[in-house]
Amino acid sequence: MKFRVERDALADAVAWTAKSLPNRPSVPVLAGVMLRVTDGQLGVSGFDYEVSSQVSVDVQGDADGAALVSGRLLAEITKALPAKPVDIAAVGAHLELVCGSARFTLPTMPVEDYPTLPEMPASAGTVDAAAFAAAVAQVAVAAGRDETLPMMTGVRIELNGSTLAMLATDRYRLAMREMQWRPDDPEISINALVPARTLADTAKTLGPLGGDVTLALAHGGAGEGMIGFAGGTRRTTSRLLDGANYPPVRSLFPASHNAEARVTVASLNEVVRRVALVADRTTPVLLSFSDEGLVVEAGGTEEARASEAMEATFSGESLTIGFNPQYLLDGLAAVGSQNAVLSFVDAFKPAVISPAGDDGEIIPGYRYLIMPIRVTR
């Protein structure tokens, strides 16, 4: 194997692939990235049995072939290289890398020990990359991080005709985004539970590339239990989580509400951030809504207390409701609009944050549900 490649293209490809490598690989070869040159194309890939990443880069190939080297080391090296063309060649059991006057010799691992990467499942349809990335970010924030509840660590993707819906919940909040996409089969109806971290990372790298993302999801047959994403020259596959018993969370959105507040997202975000400085991890911020507006208060277990009033348009009976400040801030950051509508049933039932336009009307498509904290039992 011998080729010449642009420094930036190589550094990007290696950095992205190396990011998905396991920290403590079960077998040493999984700490490697595979470099494979065929017909002037360099394929860089990484795999940890759960997630595979592949990217192809145009190169000047002198000799086809493959080499497996430590992903972390190669990523650090390529990041530090000067902006000059990079020459890479496999020499015996080593990889020679020359860039300008810098020269590196890296040990390689046996290519034949590397597992075969899973095949990309069949395409299910496409969606705008930037819109998809934004939507995933809005939903993934609500997914759980507790590995003892694996189902909660996923984002549920529901594909029904031209509607793509994503949901995630950690049992304390629930985010749902619905958007349009272009299915290959207009009658499609599939659900999948994708690990939230993988989905968020993948969407974040595919979004800025522009264009479309292809969602690949097999129903039955080869590739069952896998999902694939392809955009530009990058492809990721991920094993799905078992979502057969995913609770019917849609029904948790209250069917009606008794009170509604319209707020400026940036102001509420700022006020909550400030007041929450005195709240510890388990104490809530209290939001008191009335005709006069909104008062946000918090008091830690010690003496420290804080309160701040701000403008809010409120309709309904006066109401005081407590939230985990971080859950509230996550929701405000996720709505992605200047204004938001908060709707309430009462102080003990789930509240819903929705994005709103300049006219104060709710923009459909996204809802963030948040469970209150009950201050007294």
CA distance 320 to 38: 65
Query: Rule CB under 8 A: which of 119-158 touch another protein?
Result: 146, 148
Does position 282 interact with another protein (CB under 8 A)? The reply is yes
Closest distance to another protein from the beta carbon of 111 (Å): 37
Interface mask (CB under 8 A) for another protein, residues 296-325, using x and -?
Answer: -----x--------------------x-x-
DSSP notation for 192-232: EEEEHHHHHHHHHHHGGG-SEEEEEE-SSSTTTTEEEEEET
Shortest CB 284 distance to another protein, Å: 5
Count of residues near another protein by CB under 8 A: 26
Rg (CA), the chain: 25
Tokens of 73: 């080391």
Instruction: Record the tokens describing residue 39, joined without a space.
Output: 């017909």
Per the DSSP assignment, residues forming a β-bridge with 61 are: 3
**Please, what is the minimum distance in Å from the beta carbon of residue 254 to another protein?**
12
- Residue whose CB is less far from another protein, 291 or 348: 348
Rounded least distance, CB 173 to another protein, Å:
8
Of residues 331-360, those binding another protein (CB under 8 A): 348, 350
Return the SS3 of 334: helix
Both structure tokens of 63: 């000799």
Interface stretch with another protein, choices 133-141, 209-217, 220-228, 279-287 (CB under 8 A): 279-287
Stretch that binds another protein, among 15-23, 44-52, 193-201, 280-288 (CB under 8 A): 280-288
Binding of another protein by 245 (CB under 8 A): no
How far is the C-alpha of 87 from the C-alpha of 78, rounded, in Å?
12
Name which of residues 166 to 195 contact another protein (CB under 8 A).
Answer: 169, 171-174
Integer Cα distance of 268 and 270 in angstroms: 5
CB of 352 to another protein, least distance (A): 12
Using CA atoms of 177, 284, 307, 346 in order, give the dihedral in degrees to the nearest 10. Answer: 60
**Residues 100, 107, 247, 360: which binds another protein (CB under 8 A)?**
247
Could you tell me how far CA 125 lies from the centroid of its own chain? 19
Binding positions for another protein, 52-111, rule CB under 8 A: none
CA-wise closest residue to 65 among 98, 86, 88: 88
Q: What are the distances in angstroms from CA 231 to CA 87, 209, 284, 318?
A: 27, 7, 42, 49
- Given the rule CB under 8 A, which of 31-39, 127-135, 329-337, 364-372 is the region that contacts another protein? 364-372
List contacts with another protein (CB under 8 A).
146, 148, 169, 171-174, 247, 249, 252, 282-284, 301, 322, 324, 348, 350, 369, 371-377
